[in-house]
Structures are given as C-alpha cells and as structure tokens.
Structure 1
C-alpha cells in the first residue's frame, strides 16, 4: 500500500513537514510495510517559502524594512538565480505585532515594498509575491509608497500609506517610480478569493482579527471603496470585483494595480512548483491531508481543496486530519472526503491540543489506518 501525505501546517503548532512526520509515524506504527510519500504543502500565504525550501535550494537575502507599525526591523526573502520570492508576512505580518498592540487602521505594508525594491535593486527581474498573514488593510498603498507612488488628499496633502488613509485619497501620482513596470515580471500568489470590499471583502472578513472594532471595520471598508475608485481613475485598473482583490487587506488589488502583477491561486502555484500531480499519479492508494482549522474557507481555495480536486480527478480516496473542525457538513458536502478526524474530538483542552499536536496527529493517523484497514489493506 502506498499513502501520499500532503498536509498544510497546523498554524501555531506544527509546520507542514512536522505534520507529515507525525502522520507517517502513526501509519508506520500500525504497519511498517506501508510505503509513505511525504509532500508538505502551503496555500500561497504565510509559510509558503518554508515549503518551497523543502523542494528547491533557495538563497536568503536580508533587508532593513519597517514593520506594520513603522518600527525598523530586518526582513528576509528568498531567491534563485533569476527570481525573488517575497512573503508579505515577513515584513508586514500580523505575527510581527503584539496582540495587545494590533492597530490595523494605522498599519502599513510599506516594508513589503522595501523588500520588493531591494530585490529590484539587486537585479531580479522576476518577483513572486506571496500574500497572506498580513497585519494590514491598506490596499497595498504602503507597498506602493515604498516604490515611489504618492497619494494625496483633496487639499493636496500627502496621505499616510495606511488603512485609515485610504478614505482620504483623491489623487495618485506615479511619476517618481524607481523602476519601469515593463522591466519586471510580477506574480502575486494568494490563498483566498475575497473581493476588495463589501460583506465578503477584506475589512469585513479579516480586519477584526487584526484589531479593528465594528466602527473601524465600516470605515476601512469605505476606504477600500474609495481606493477602488481612485485606482480606476488614475491607474485605469478595475479591481472592484476582482477575485482575490481582498486578500491580505487588499494587497491582492494593490499588486495588480501598482505592479501590473498576474494573480495566481496559491495552492495551484505550490502544487505546480512542487510537482504534486506527479506524486498523485505514483500508484497512490490513499491521500491523507490536513490543516489546523477546517472551516468554510477550506472549501474556497486552501490546501485541502486543492488536494480534494486532484484526489477525485484520479479516483483516489482521501482523508482529512485537523486540529478543529467548524463546518463539517459544508466540508463533507463540498469536498467529499472518505473521513475527517480532529484533535478537539478527543475532549482535551485547546492548550493541550496546541502543545502536543504532533502526538495527537500520530494517534489520529494510527486510528485512521486501523479503521480503514479492511478497505485498503487486504
């Protein structure tokens, strides 16, 4: 029997490779003759570079940048011979801001722009930008400001490149760009399909976890609406209904507007780069995937969604291991897994689940193979 192990990370507990190792231990504890193929995955957001590092020899560059709250820090990105791989979370990530200090209205993606500029100045002409895990809701104007874009109010005052500033933008100037957009090929990789604004937009869906109150969420949403009007007016880009525009606080829209970036699904990008389809076609009998939290976003373009599509295309059963499951009926009806198991079903505390996730994932994978033994192992 051959089992393909292809999970995402369990955020806050285990990296994707650590999840792979824990699942493999459970399988081999049950039957050491089972062949396993470990293929850790990511969805294009935070942690994607760590996944790519498992498959390629990427080098690291460092640059001084400012964090989401305008504090000086040192951030890194990866590269090969001709391409720079930049993860927004490394310079503008939510995890860079203390929980009691989160202020999405006054946060900026300027540091991400500094990493992009550093890569351009070092000669890279292909730049892959992974967005997700951001502390921002600025539509990418912070990133753009670092590259030379300028934003002005009706009174001609220079606007601070933050989420709070979006609602005041009345003019955009790009005469001072430090590079030619025609000379750089940008790709923005994202893991969600949210529009820029509205009930499913960046502010209403994500700003609360970044520290915004209900009133601030409404103001941020109005800011994104104004941002959309101004980029259409000055940059001739219509992002109001662009799928994925609301990713990372509107950075999806910002990358398209300010970088002329091509947008690509995160899980499709990672699967393509890591040759996942070849692994699936390698006489696999079962796929085990998973992530820390299963919810409605899982069915919209996360790792498990990508795995489910390829599993069904190749008529391979797949099962899901998770930390917690919030929308089990939705996931079952949309993805049709053979089985779903979660750590929190074990009647333990959240703290225990987080601290001992590897142990519980190993136990779940053991029980999974045991329960399906009659079906898969003859």
Structure 2
C-alpha cells in the first residue's frame, strides 16, 4: 500500500512537516511495510515559505521594517535567481503582536511595502506575495505608502496609513512612486475569496479576530467601502467586489490597484510549485490530509479543499485528520472524505489537543489505517 500524507500545519501546535511525521508514525505503527510519501502543504498564508523551502533551495534576505504598530523589527523574505517570495505575515502579521496590542483599527501594512521595495531595489522583477495571517485592515494603504503613494484628507493632510483612517481618504497621489510599476510582475497568493467590504468583507469576517469591537468593525467596513470609491476615482480601478479583495484586511485589493498584481489561489499555487499533481498516479491507495481547525471555511479554498478536488479527480480515497471539527456534516457532504476524524472529543480538551497534538495524531492515524484496511477487506 502507498499513502500520500499532505496536510497543512496545525496552527499553534505543529508545522505541516511535523504533522506529516506524526501521521507517518501512526501508519507505520500499524504496518511498517506501508509506503508513505510526505508532501506538506500550505494555502498561501503564513508558513507557505517554509513549505516552499522544503522543495527549493531559496535564499533569505534580512530587512529592518516597521511591524503592524510601526515599531522596528528585522524580518526576512526569500528568493531564487529572479523571484522574491514575500510573506506579509513576517512584517504585518497578527503573530507579531501580543494579544493586548491587537486592534486592526490601528495597524498597518507599511512593513510589507518595505519588503516589496527592498526586493524591487535588489532587482527582482517577479514578486510573489503571500497575504495570509495579517493583523491589518488598511486596504493595503500602508504598503502603498511605503512604495511612494500618498493619501490625503479633505484638509490636505497626509493620513496615517492605518485601518481607521481609510474613511478620511479624500485623494490619492501616485506621482512620486519609488518604483516603476511596469517593471514589476506581482502575483498575490491567498486562501480566501471575500470581497473588500459588506457582510462577507474583510472587516465583518475577520475584524473581530484582529481585535476590533463590533462598533469598530462597522466603522472599518464603511472605511473600506469609501476606500474603494477613492480607488475608482483616482486610479480608475474597481476592486470592491473582486474575489479575494478582502484578503488580509483588504491587502488583496491594495495589491491589485497599487501594484497591478494578479491574484492566484494559495493552494493551487503551492500544489503547482511543489509538483503535488504529479504524485497522484494509479499506484496511490490513499491520501491523508488535515489541518488544525476544520470548519465551513475549509470548503472555500484551504489545503483540504484542494486535496479533495484532486483526490476525487484521480479517483483516490482521501481522509481528513483535524485538531477540531465544526460543521461536520457540511464537510462530509461537500468534500466526501473516506474518513473524517478529530483529536478533540468529550475526553480530550482543546488545550490537551494542542499540547499533545503529535501523540494524538499518531493514535488517530493508526485508527484511520486500521479502519481503511477493514473497509477494504469487507468490500472484497
């Protein structure tokens, strides 16, 4: 038997490769003769560069930039000969802020713009920007400000490029850019399809997890709507309803209108770059995938969704292992996994699941393979 192990990370607990190792251990505990292929994945959010590094020999560049609260930090991006790979979470991510400091009314993507500008100045013509895990809701105006765009209020003052100031933008000046937009080819990789504003937009869907109150979320949404109108007026671009515009607090929209970027699905990009599709020939008996939290967002464009589509296309059974599962029936009915199992249960708390994830995954994968063998034997 040959099994492909292709999970995402279990956020806050295990990297994608550590998940692979735990699942492999459980499989080999059941039967050491089973052949396993470990192929960790990501969906374009934080951790994607680590996945690419597993497959390619990328080099790192260290840069001092501003974090989401304009504090100096040193962070990195990676590159090969002609392409810079930038993870916005490294400069503007929620992971950089302690919980008490999180509020996307006051955060900026300025540091992400500094990383992009550094790559441009170093001569990289192709930039791949991964935009998951943001602490921001500024529509990308912070990034744009670092690149030379200027945003002015009705009184003619330059605004501070943070979320709560989007409502104050009265004009956009692109006359003093620090780069030539025609010389750079930017691809934005993300894992969500939300529009910029509205009930499914950046503020209402993600604002609370970035520290915004209900009243602040309403204000931020009004700001994003206003921002889109100013972009239409001054840059002649309509980004409000664009799929993925709301990713990373509107950085999806910002990258398109300020960098002329092209959007690409995160999981599609990672699978294409790492050769996942080429693994799935008729010698594969099972694919095991998973992530920390499986819920209704999983069916939108996460790793598990991408794996399920390719498994079904190639007529290969696949199973899902998760830290916790919400919307069990929705996942089961939409993705049709052979098995869907979670670490958390009536006897295992979330804290236990996070702290001892590797042990629990090994146990679950043993049970999964045992059940898979029993199913095969019963149908023969």
Bin of the TM-score, shorter chain as denominator length: over 0.9
Residues in 2 aligned to 1:304 and 1:166: alpha-carbon distance in whole angstroms: 35
Q: Which blocks of at least 5 consecutive residues in structure 2 are unaligned?
A: none
Residues in 1 aligned to 2:374 and 2:225: alpha-carbon distance in whole angstroms: 56
2:64 equivalent in structure 1:
64
2:250 equivalent in structure 1:
250
Matched, 1:169 2:169: yes
Corresponding residue SS for 1:288: strand
Residues in 2 aligned to 1:283 and 1:78: alpha-carbon distance in whole angstroms: 35
Residues in 1 aligned to 2:153 and 2:82: alpha-carbon distance in whole angstroms: 39
Q: For residues 64-120 of structure 1, give each alpha carbon's deviation from its aligned partner in whole angstroms, at most 9, with x where no partner exists.
A: 100001101011000000000000000000010000111210100000000000101
Residues in 1 aligned to 2:57 and 2:165: alpha-carbon distance in whole angstroms: 40
Corresponding residue SS for 1:33: coil
Residues in 2 aligned to 1:46 and 1:207: alpha-carbon distance in whole angstroms: 18
Q: For residues 280-337 of structure 1, give each alpha carbon's deviation from its aligned partner in whole angstroms, at most 9, with x where no partner exists.
A: 1261110000000001100000000000000000011100000000111111111011
CA shift, 1:374, in A, is 2.6
Residues in 1 aligned to 2:281 and 2:268: alpha-carbon distance in whole angstroms: 17
CA shift, 1:345, in A, is 2.3
The equivalences for 1:3-14 within 5 A come to 3-14=3-14
Preserved CA contact (<8 Å) 1:285 1:376: no
1:303 equivalent in structure 2:
303
Corresponding residue SS for 2:65: strand
Residues in 1 aligned to 2:368 and 2:47: alpha-carbon distance in whole angstroms: 27
1:324 equivalent in structure 2:
324
Kindly report structure 1 stretches of 4+ aligned residues shifted beyond 2 Å. 374-378
Residues in 2 aligned to 1:74 and 1:258: alpha-carbon distance in whole angstroms: 25
1:20 equivalent in structure 2:
20
2:95 equivalent in structure 1:
95
CA shift, 1:346, in A, is 5.9
Corresponding residue SS for 1:372: helix
Greater shift, 327-336 or 280-289, is seen at 280-289
Preserved CA contact (<8 Å) 1:22 1:362: yes
Corresponding residue SS for 1:104: coil
1:369 equivalent in structure 2:
369
1:159 equivalent in structure 2:
159
Q: What is the RMSD of the two structures over their aligned residues, measured on CA atoms?
A: 0.9
Q: For residues 249-307 of structure 1, give each alpha carbon's deviation from its aligned partner in whole angstroms, at most 9, with x where no partner exists.
A: 00000000100000000000000000110111261110000000001100000000000
Residues in 2 aligned to 1:310 and 1:63: alpha-carbon distance in whole angstroms: 38
The number of aligned residues is 378
Q: Which blocks of at least 5 consecutive residues in structure 1 are unaligned?
A: none
Matched, 1:197 2:197: yes
Residues in 1 aligned to 2:376 and 2:119: alpha-carbon distance in whole angstroms: 49
Residues in 2 aligned to 1:206 and 1:72: alpha-carbon distance in whole angstroms: 25
2:51 equivalent in structure 1:
51
1:333 equivalent in structure 2:
333
Greater shift, 281-290 or 351-360, is seen at 281-290
1:237 equivalent in structure 2:
237
Greater shift, 32-41 or 273-282, is seen at 273-282
Preserved CA contact (<8 Å) 1:6 1:288: yes
Q: For residues 212-260 of structure 1, give each alpha carbon's deviation from its aligned partner in whole angstroms, at most 9, with x where no partner exists.
A: 0000000000000001001111111111110000000000000001000
Return closer, same or farther for 1:115/1:282 CA change in 2, 3 Å cut-off.
Answer: farther
Residues in 1 aligned to 2:116 and 2:253: alpha-carbon distance in whole angstroms: 16
